[in-house]
Structures are given as structure tokens and as C-alpha cells.
Amino acid sequence: MRNIQIIETVSYKSKSGVSDAQFIAAAKGLDAYIDRCGGLISRSLFKSDDDVWYEQMIWETESAYTKANSGFMASQEGQAVIALLDPASLNMGHAQAAFARVCAPLMP
């Protein structure tokens, strides 16, 4: 397998009673774990009008994605996020990027 970018997409709903601010704080807290893993190019979190959260991460390589994924459930930061989401709504997927274009960073 070539060392090309991996796009990971995850969707889920938060548990009943969890505020957007509470969920976003836990999601931001996950950055500490991701930073320890290394290999992340970008990460975005957004919520649809039907209350589904979508997260997209772009990883430098398959090995960077695998490393982060393998320790996620055991990490304190991962557990904080998992505790707030509805496990029945969780959908995950990843694939090699077929095409990527970066025009300009939106945020520093």
C-alpha cells in the first residue's frame, strides 16, 4: 500500500440531554490524544440540521490512521467522547484519498 492520505469519516448522534457545547468541549479534548499519535493533517467537526454529528479527519498515511484508531477506545480522551454519543448511531469509514486539493487554510 502506498503512503498516501487517508480520509476518515465518522457520523453519530449525541445522547439525549447532551448539549452541543458539552459535546464540542469533549471533541476538542480529543486533540490531546490525536497530537500524541501524530500524523493528522486536518480535522473538522460539524452538525447537520437533523442532529447528526460528522467528523472528518485526514491522515498522512494508513499507518498514522491505524495507530490513532488502535488506541482511541483505551484513551481517556476517547472515553470522554464515547460517553456522550449514542453508540447505535455510530458509523465509521476510511479510504485512501483519490484526489485532494488544498486551496488555503480557513483557520490558523
Asked whether the predicted pLDDT for residue 1 surpasses 50, the reply is no
Distance from the Cα of residue 58 to its chain's centroid = 9
Q: What percentage of the chain has pLDDT greater than the value 70?
A: 93
Q: Which CATH class is domain 6-96?
A: alpha beta
Exposed e or buried b for every residue in 40-71, given b needs 16+ CB within 10 A?
beebeeeeeeeeebebebbbebbebbebbbee
106 band by pLDDT with thresholds 50, 70 and 90? low
Asked whether the predicted pLDDT for residue 3 surpasses 70, the reply is no
Mean pLDDT of 23-51: 96
Higher pLDDT, 3 or 70: 70
105 band by pLDDT with thresholds 50, 70 and 90? low
The DSSP output letter for 4 is -
